Structure 1
């Protein structure tokens, strides 16, 4: 059995992250919750994928900024049409590409910054490792 991966992180901007990851990046909202032990949360991903992202906000708690330009989520989209559609969807949602800190990511991809400052790379290449 292949394990499932959940990447979880706190945020002060749950609604803004929903807009970026669901409307912009095109991930599905898999689950959301409110008032669960003082936390609200959102899980996004692709229903059949072995991973999902979870964002949580705690009432009365401010999350300090944490990202650097090298905190990346990289999505490999080898098909040109799928890559172009993903880029267009993010741009239509109001997000512009930013220069990658590591120039490697600009060779075959574009980098976008989410509302918390974390970066998402749309890489037009197959993952071959």
Structure 2
């Protein structure tokens, strides 16, 4: 068939033939059933605080072990303590499910903030003390 027999007259784009082509609207689906009164959908656990505490604690440990980045390790350790404590609180209230990760972040933060800088200070004092004896 040519454009002229389809009603196009030979000029411009062909005109649609009734009954051919795509439907004007898609199929309609039934709506979701309403939630029964008194029942709510369970809330998703919010594990972001505990996970953030764990990540900051690990990075703080690594930074505290290096000589030039110990200050960043202390700062990240403090942040890990805060986020880990908040994450543990959420886990105790049932708002989160990662109490172990939050606890690990809290412990890593304490080690990065307190223990490793103290060990570094003791090692530095030992080194300086031994250098003065010669």
Q: TM-score range by the shorter chain?
A: under 0.3
Instruction: Name whichever structure is richer in helix by fraction.
Output: 2
TM norm structure 2: 0.22
Higher relative contact order, chain-length normalized (CA < 8 Å, sep 6+): 1
TM norm structure 1: 0.23
